[in-house]
Structure 1
Amino acid sequence: MCEDDHGIGRRALFVTGAATALTLGTVSFSHGPAAEAADSQETRTVRGTLPTGSPDFVYLPVDVPEGVREIRVAYTYDKPSVPAGTPGNALDIGIFDERGTELGGEGFRGWSGGARTEFFLRADDATPGYLPGPVGPGTWHIALGPYTVAPQGLTYEVTVTLTYGEPGRTPTPVYPPSRARGRGRAWYRGDCHLHSWYSDGRRTPAEIAALARAAGLDFINTSEHNTHSSHAHWADLAGDDLLIMTGEEVTTRNGHVVALGVDPGTFIDWRYRARDNRWARFAREIRRAGGLVVPAHPHATCVGCGWKFGFAEADAVEVWNGPFTPDDEVTLAEWDNTLVAAVREGHGRWLPAMGNSDAHRDPDAIGSPQTVVLADDLTREAIQEGIRAGRSYVAESKNISLAFTASGGRGEHAGIGERLEVSPDTPVTIRLEVSGAPRCTVRFVTDQGVLLAGDPLPVSGSGVVEWRTTPAYAAYVRAELRHETAAGPLPGALAAFTNPVFLGRR
């Protein structure tokens, strides 16, 4: 074993095309007889300290010789006590191969964030979160991400072990199909934000698929943090009854975005902030790969989780994430403001809402909430088209079903996500049919705010609520179901809500 110090004096700042980053001195290995001995190993350990205010990414170059069968990396870092309200140390990790660290990820070989303390890669296998493939000669880079650094600094230790020998064979990836049997044009239920053990989740893909079926879901979308390594591990779990789309949760320092339903094998880079002015490029990459751009939990309170990129590039927004909390309430209000802005600007473009579980482990409930989409079939393209058009509502479980419509006096009719094209003074009937929501209260929300808050539904959970208005009075109407509350005038937690129906001619 060889040990080396990589203190701050040996750093060099460089620009990779991603952002200004910190590069350390190269870790070198033998190029001699060790490469000829099968299963022989060499190990190097490096140590260093990162100060508060370190760059987002610190690269440790590793000079990998010919004949390496496996690379294994382990790391530790200190976690000193910090004053109340001050973030402590958190250090993420990943790796890029000899193709480099340029923005776009050609050399990307895996990322585990802070979920693992070690990983390996070889041709025939890799730690979940990492991509199997040859360990080619050249300069690899271990990517360290100092997510937060304590006032005392962050002292780390990285151990790299190379094993020599003949490489195995890299498996050809098999991906889930882009269609399931479906029921033709129908309402399909899905959860598009989920985590398995391929990032920081604790469930296997098989466990997730079983729970998705139990939750009454017709489709799911894989969304591991900053890696597409799970894409090749879902094919056997899809079926006529479950469409499995592939994606990624692009986890930047200025917010997270779900790349929903990208082509299998697509990687989307995450190494930028809003100030770097690179987000539009990667939003376009998501769409070029056949995906939707869906900012996730925009008002989440964890460090780096709040969405800072704006919504100009978004195809939809995750308004409800997991159990309903105050940050979801804030997001709901902000989303409603975007609907008002769309009406005011009159360009016809508006931002549909989604809800997803963001489930990681027990007791996180897959399918709570779930997005219920009116789609022409159970295919990737049809589900995405329904989400993009806003023909959807969000429910806390499979138990709740909604039918929400607006109709005029001459047979005109519009459903969720559509527009009722009638004159400003035309009487309009808004109708909501509900099942599976016992004791919940119906609210109709317009560009003026809440204009109807009815009595609680009966214990049966079923009921019909009608309300009459005109396009002059309400530019759009959307429905909410709220649980009972004991907090005075504050509304209860959401049980379901719809995208809007727009009223009047453009």
Structure 2
Amino acid sequence: MSFADDAAAAERRSGKETKTVRGTLPTGSPDFVYLPVDVPRGVREIHVAYTYEKPPVPAGTVGNALDIGVFDERGTDLGGKGFRGWSGGARTEFFVRADDATPGYIPGPVRAGRWHIALGPYTVAPQGLPYEVTITLTYGAPGTTPKPVYPPERAGGRGRAWYRGDCHLHTWYSDGRRTPAEIGALARAAGLDFINSSEHNTHSAHAHWSEVAGDDLLVLLGEEITTRNGHVLAIGTEPGTFVDWRYRARDNRFGHYARAVRRSGGLVVPAHPHATCVGCNWKFGFGEADAVEVWNGAYSPEDEVALSEWDNALVAAARGGRRWTPAMGNSDAHRDPDPVGRPQTVVLADDLTREAVQEGIRAGRSYIAEAKEVELAFSATGGKGRHAGIGERLRVDADAPVTVRLDVKGAPGCTIRFVTDQGVLFTSPPLPESGTGSAEWRTTASYAAYVRAEVRKPQVAPPLPGPMRALTNPIFLGR
């Protein structure tokens, strides 16, 4: 599509110009199709609108779903500088200009050159995917791009303490329906101390959190990198960091972008690894993960599978003396009535700063609670005053006696379970209606390579365990 830069440009600068392109994407289309648009000089704003057909399909067959975004004259190279925004399937139109842009898109000059509208045929019906894209250029003075203001990396903490956070949240800067201000209010009501901006495949929200942050709320910046083979959270990256998502596991590119997240100061956390939506199931392995999201939103069978897989990995790590991957939980809230902070990850950190919170998550000094009312204290003690907490190792001889204890608040009617590399070895009677109680269990390092705790609600479908109220990362036993 060409808007030629010729002698008529002076006349165009005072008005608008619109062109439309139509096509059909067949089944088996590439993950991304790029429509080139030659943009002339003197453009103030580019506006894009699109539609596509959704014909009926047989039961059990996926229908049409088409995502959209845009790259500027700097090109579409993987990991390049041309990215200017992505809305996936959340919007049917968007605009970009120097002083403003649709949520999900990056304000900045509309420079002359070959831009590309990126189409992502997420799923294609057997009949194909007919689409129509209309591009309108508005001519005039470009305006001034505002200098972004980002939230501080420190809040008013309590020194070394337990801090509550939700690191998987969406606003209207991707496919959510809430504003950052609304998320901030809900986070405070949920008792959270920190949150993370995690929009799908865009960093456009980063510059809109500064007024939400405060002494009582630390706002980390990141992205939900949403590939066709699973989603991964980048938690606490440098402001303005964009991480590309246009690859599959077979492309052998994920390791490169995981390292890019770390170079920008972030954590790499695979999200909802056993989600059943198309493209959501995690296919990249966990070798690059700093933690893994085993609990996403309301506790579900998908989370039960993720928890079991994570526990199996703990066994392998304990057996081989290898690094282990901590667990975390987040709400993945998008819109009403999705609750923010349900669940939440409770982290032991030296202070309420980006670096300290990340270090606590990375070390596994954390537990997952369904809500702010739930409090846990989990420890293991051995002879000679030895003591270890969540995410730590109790260094004792193989046959030395070890006492494991969990104290619970906010879990009426729930049972406490201690889980080891052999499975569940202790289950308590139900906690009283006050929701406060404790349990102790004695073992040795030769009998249990690690111990972790779960707080479960009453069973709904025996013999399956009841839904989760809280769970901890493990304490490892032995030298």
Please point out which of 410, 414, 423 is paired with 2:384: 410
Post-superposition shift, 1:81?
Answer: 0.5
In 1, are the aligned partners of 2:13 and 2:43 still within 8 Å (CA)? Answer: no
Tell me how far apart the structure 1 counterparts of residues 277 and 333 of structure 2 sit (CA, whole Å).
Answer: 16
Of 31-40 and 108-117, deviating more is 31-40
How many Å apart are 1:27 and its aligned residue?
3.7
Partner of 2:328: 354
**Are residue 331 (structure 1) and residue 306 (structure 2) matched?**
yes
- The residue aligned with 2:60 is 85
Verify the 8 A CA contact 1:180 1:378 in the aligned structure 2.
yes
The CA distance in 2 between the partners of 1:95 and 1:180, in whole Å, is 35
Cross-structure match for 2:367: 393
Count of residue pairs brought into register by the alignment:
479
Identical residues among aligned pairs (%): 76
In structure 2, the partner of 1:462 is 436
What is the CA–CA distance in structure 2 between the aligned matches of 1:127 and 1:261, rounded to whole Å? 24
The Cα of 1:490 is off from its aligned counterpart by 1.1
Shift of 1:36: 4.2
Alignment of 1:2-21 (within 5 A): none
Does 1:267 pair with 2:246? no
One-letter amino acid of the structure 2 residue matched with residue 162 of structure 1: L
1:311 to 286, 291, 295: 286
Question: Out of 93, 107, 116, which is 1:132 matched to?
Answer: 107
> Could you report, residue by residue, the CA deviation over 1:441-475 in whole angstroms, capped at 9, with x for unpaired residues?
11100000000111110000000100000000000
1:40-189 matches, cutoff 5 A? 40-189=15-164
Task: Please say if 1:321 is aligned against 2:304.
Answer: no
Instruction: Please state whether the residue corresponding to 1:75 is helix, strand or coil.
Output: strand
1:235 counterpart SS class: coil
1:355 is aligned with what amino acid? Answer: G
> Given residue 218 of structure 1, which amino acid in structure 2 is its aligned partner?
D
Q: Give the match for residue 6 of structure 1.
A: none
Verify the 8 A CA contact 2:13 2:42 in the aligned structure 1: no
Paired residues of 2:294 and 2:303 also in contact (CA < 8 A): yes
> How far apart, in 2, do the equivalents of 1:354 and 1:29 lie?
53
CA distance in 1, matches of 2:98, 2:460: 58
Match of 2:337 among 363, 372, 376: 363
**Cα distance in 1 for residues equivalent to 2:167 and 2:423:** 29
**Structure 2 length as normaliser, TM-score?**
0.99
Match of 2:397 in 1: 423
Letter in 1 for 2:181: A
Structure 2 Cα separation of the partners of residues 426 and 489 of structure 1: 34
Match of 2:426 in 1: 452
Residues 69 and 85, structure 2, Cα contact 8 Å, conserved in 1: yes
* TM-score, normalised relative to structure 1: 0.94
Q: In 1, Cα distance between the equivalents of 2:287 and 2:27? A: 33
Q: Is the 8 A contact 2:5 2:41 kept in 1?
A: no
- Match status 1:435 vs 2:393: no
Q: Which runs of 5+ in 2 are unaligned?
A: none
Amino acid at match of 2:378: F
SS across alignment from 1:206: helix
Matched with 2:7 is: 32
Alpha-carbon distance between aligned partners in 2 of 1:133 and 1:487, rounded to the nearest angstrom: 55
Matched, 1:481 2:451: no
Deviations 1:321-353 (A, max 9, x none): 000111000000000001001011113x10000
In structure 2, the residue matched to 1:10 is none
In 2: Cα distance, 1:27 partner to 1:110 partner: 21
State whether residues 401 and 443 of structure 2, in contact with CA within 8 Å, keep that contact through their aligned partners in structure 1. Answer: yes
What is the CA–CA distance in structure 1 between the aligned matches of 2:461 and 2:15, rounded to whole Å?
A: 67
**Distance (Å, rounded) in 1 between the aligned partners of 2:302 and 2:335:** 21
| 1:397-454 Cα shifts (integer Å, max 9, x gaps) | 0000000000002210000000000000010000000000000111100000000111
Deviation at 1:487, TM superposition (A): 1.5
Q: Give the 5 Å matches for 1:197-212.
A: 197-212=172-187
Give the aligned partner of residue 464 of structure 2.
Answer: 490
Given that 1:93 and 1:143 are in contact with CA atoms closer than 8 Å, whether structure 2 keeps it comes out as yes
Amino acid at match of 1:47: R
- Matched AA of 1:454: S
Amino acid at match of 1:94: G
Comparing 243-252 with 479-488, greater Cα deviation is found at 479-488
CA-based RMSD of the aligned residues comes to 0.8
Checking the alignment, whether the CA contact within 8 Å between 1:35 and 1:68 is kept in structure 2 is: no
Where do 5+ consecutive residues of structure 1 fail to align? 1-25
Please tell me whether the aligned partners of residues 165 and 195 of structure 2 are also in contact (alpha carbons under 8 angstroms).
Answer: yes
What is the identity, as a one-letter code, of the residue corresponding to 2:403?
Answer: T
Please give the secondary structure, in 1, of the residue aligned with 2:429. strand
